[in-house]
Amino acid sequence: GGGGGGGGDDDDAAGRQPETAAMMRWSRATNLTAALNFHEGALVANYPWDGTDDGKTRYSRAPDDPAFRRMASAYASAHRGRMIPATAELSIARKSRRPNEERFKGGITNGAAWYPLWGGMQDWHYIVTGTMALTIEVNEVKWPEVRELERLWREHAPAMLATALVACAKSVSGVVVDAVTRAPISGPGVVLTIEPRGEGGAEGAAMPFSTLNGTGQYARPCAAGKVRVRASAPGYEPAVGEGEASDEKGAVVSLALMPRARGEAAAAVAAAAARG
């Protein structure tokens, strides 16, 4: 799985701790658009990939890197504490006191650029279930006192909501239907991708994803700007649609797929008409 080091035995729940196996089963059964995992020991919004192919500490770009950076920045910007401002903190990675802004520009970090690890939940979620997950380091102190919990909730609650809005309401969503019957098209065979737009649009090829079970609906975090979505399904001609996502509203890109036999017949009629 890219630089994430996922797949293979990493997808096997056998022999895992009960709570880990339960989370793996639940995640596979629940089509999540995005997720936040919480951890302590620093103050930063961490995004994939967490691992590198060569084991070195360096930036490891995921296919949806622009969307991940947008989600992480939304969290950091809405945090009501010190996630972005430059304030002294204890660096668990280097055991030295450094400003948060110096360590984590904008309050965010690529996981592997901070320190690489393999088998982490955010990479597994992304590879196995298609869920776009961030790991939120909520506090510099690894084991905060009980009296600190209310403060931490007040600081992080607005950031949780802001990230959910960007991921689901200010990105791209729509429905995939049969162009003839207008029935929703769902299931593992449905493949959607956000295609590169180049200048002013999403960067690079993104990870494929699918529609929600039985509804034909989808929602996918994306970078702000022009977005182009491609949908395909067994027995149908592919379709492409475009929209634009911004910090004010998301793009709605619904797609109607033509059944392949009917599409082939229509193409033959069009070709005959063109021949005159």
CA torsion angle 47 5 7 129 (round to 10) = 10
pLDDT means over runs of 10, the chain (276 residues): 39 81 88 91 94 92 95 94 56 44 82 91 91 94 91 95 95 96 89 72 70 88 94 95 94 96 58 57
Q: Let me know if residue 3 belongs to a domain.
A: no
Collapsing DSSP to helix, strand or coil, 135 comes out as: strand
Q: Let me know if residue 270 belongs to a domain.
A: no
33 and 12 share a domain? yes
Q: Let me know if residue 217 belongs to a domain.
A: yes
Q: Let me know if residue 162 belongs to a domain.
A: yes
164 and 213 share a domain? no
Which domain range does residue 39 map to?
A: 8-169
Contact status, residue 178 vs residue 259, Cβ threshold 8 Å: yes
What's 250's domain CATH number?
2.60.40.1120
For residue 209, give the DSSP letter.
B
- What pTM does this model have? 0.82
153 and 66 share a domain? yes
14 and 74 share a domain? yes
Count of domains for the chain: 2
Which pLDDT value is given to residue 46? Answer: 96
118 and 220 share a domain? no
138 and 214 share a domain? no
98 and 210 share a domain? no
214 and 260 share a domain? yes
Among all residues, which ones are annotated catalytic?
137
Q: Let me know if residue 142 belongs to a domain.
A: yes
80 and 138 share a domain? yes
Residue-wise over 210-242: b if at least 16 C-beta within 10 A, else e?
A: bbbeeebbbbbbbbbbbbbbbbbbeebbebebe
Q: Let me know if residue 1 belongs to a domain.
A: no
Which pLDDT value is given to residue 188? Answer: 75
77 and 156 share a domain? yes
Rounded Cα distance between 139 and 135, Å, is 12
Which pLDDT value is given to residue 30? Answer: 83
144 and 240 share a domain? no
Q: Let me know if residue 272 belongs to a domain.
A: no
| End position of a domain, from candidates 148, 169, 190 | 169
Q: Let me know if residue 271 belongs to a domain.
A: no
Which pLDDT value is given to residue 3? Answer: 36
| End position of a domain, from candidates 113, 138, 169 | 169
Which pLDDT value is given to residue 84? Answer: 72
Which pLDDT value is given to residue 2? Answer: 33
164 and 209 share a domain? no
What's 62's domain CATH number?
3.40.630.10
| End position of a domain, from candidates 135, 169, 203 | 169
Q: Where are the alpha helices (DSSP H) in the chain?
A: 18-29, 65-78, 100-103, 111-114, 121-124, 149-164, 260-275
